[in-house]
Amino acid sequence: MAASSGPTADNPFVYGEIVSAAAFADRADERERLGRDLASGQKVFLISPRRYGKSSLVRDVMRGLARQKILTVEVTVAASSSYIGFLESYAQALLAADTPAARLKRWASELLRGIRPEVRFDADPLHRQGAGGQAGKARVALSFPAVRTARDTARVANEVFQLPARIAEARKQRLAVALDEFQAIASFNGGSVEAALRAAVQDQRQVGYVFSGSEPSLMERMLGPRRPFYKAGPVMRLEKINPEDFAAFIDERFRGSGIRPADGLGEAIVDLAANVPYDVQRLAHETWDDVREAGKRDAGLDDLHATLLRLLGAHSTVFEEAWQRLTLPQRAVLRALVIEEGQELMSADVRTRHRLPGTSTIQAALAALLRQDIITRDGERYSAVDSLYREWVARKTS
């Protein structure tokens, strides 16, 4: 087959990974505000539905702070399966922040005064051999093997939670800490960890924190009047990007890569993807790939819909399996939610039109769909988390 004469630039749309600043559409105000708050030692709570780009936003802000000579530490709370596992991961990340391996063990002993961490260096399995046949970079691993009881764990927690302030003081540098998927911390040790962490961080003036979470209802409850983090710091709620700005961004990225978008292409992508940043980037990315593969220099609405049909076909098995796992009332409610755009599901008209069960059964089905992360809620409106699944439900079910 002859080589294509179409555009050869890299795909300008990124999804499914932490992205660079160049891949952001808007978010300038959020980045500036979060960076300013962290640099001044604020304790910020960032609440965002999944797929809105929360982790990429935090990573980009932390990169900017690092350029200002602020030490940065990022830990995903939900990656730990236990309280002590989280404490080990957190202490390891803090101690390793910009610390030469040769002095890390001494650094750990000096700063974790009342406990005896075990620090070891393992060869990174992904980098066992570097360039020229040299050994790859060693990976630090920290653990607290002496911990046996709940009292031991509480003592370790107190030391670890004080660690950021001690590091900032010892280094004579400000520190910024990002604890991602922070809502998972409530599941550790019966939730008492919230009180211990709040007591530790509230007086750490040289340390900024961003506690970010992608389960808005859980995060909102953590900030309620009866919880330790009530009024602990400013709250940022990541909203959808202005659709007109997002559409213009999509069109501009197509043009910048050598593919001319048809009038309304960016708007159609944003609309089909329900203006969810991850889904918008995915649909734009896949459309761009298909157009480039075809050797074309123009992208139109027909190309967009061809890509959508390809994606629906590629995901049909997964979507079918997800659908079959639902109960019959859950299927009926999900389909009605999709067709009615998540509104007035309890009304007699909608219930009759979609042959829905009674209101109590509808409420139970909605609660189950929320728990399964199939749908999300914004006020009184419900929507499917994955816009591609939404399209599949609308087209392939009855």
Integer Cα distance of 36 and 29 in angstroms? 11
- Report the distance separating Cα 187 and Cα 222, nearest Å: 12
C-alpha closest to that of 325 among 263, 371, 261: 371
Q: Are 123 and 136 in contact (CB under 8 A)?
A: yes
Rounded to 5°, the CA angle 153-159-162 comes to 135
Please give the helix or strand (H or E) that residue 360 lies within, else none. Answer: helix 359-371
Q: Residue type for 87, please?
A: L
- H or E segment to which residue 160 belongs: helix 150-171
All structural domains of the chain: 27-112+149-237 (3.40.50.300), 243-314 (1.10.8), 317-396 (1.10.10.10)
Q: The tokens 């990225």 sit on which residue?
A: 253
Encode the chain (398 residues) as per-residue pLDDT tens digits: 333 344 457 899 988 765 555 555 668 889 999 999 999 999 999 998 888 889 889 999 999 999 999 999 999 999 999 999 999 999 989 988 876 665 667 777 777 766 777 777 765 555 444 444 444 445 778 888 888 888 888 888 988 999 999 999 988 999 999 999 999 998 887 768 999 999 999 999 999 999 999 888 888 889 999 899 999 999 999 888 899 999 999 999 999 999 999 999 999 999 999 999 999 999 999 999 999 999 999 999 999 999 999 999 999 999 999 999 999 999 999 999 999 998 889 999 999 999 999 999 999 999 999 988 899 887 788 999 999 999 999 999 98
Distance CA 330, CA 312 (A): 21
pLDDT at res. 26: 65
* First and final C-alpha spacing in the chain: 43
Task: State the chain's maximal CA–CA distance in angstroms.
Answer: 73
CB atoms near residue 348 (< 10 Å): 10
Closest CA to 115 of 55, 158, 174, 150: 158
Q: Which of 103, 185, 178, 172 is nearest to 140 (CA)?
A: 103
Q: Which pLDDT score is estimated for 128?
A: 46
Is there a contact between 236 and 31 (Cβ–Cβ < 8 Å)? no
Q: How far is CA 181 from the centre of its chain?
A: 7
The pLDDT value given to residue 5: 42
Give the count of alpha carbons within 13 A of 105, CB side only: 6
- Residue 244 CB partners (closer than 8 Å, separation 6+): 267
CA distance 311 to 296: 20
* Contact present, 282 and 273 (Cβ < 8 Å): yes
- What pLDDT score does 130 carry? 42
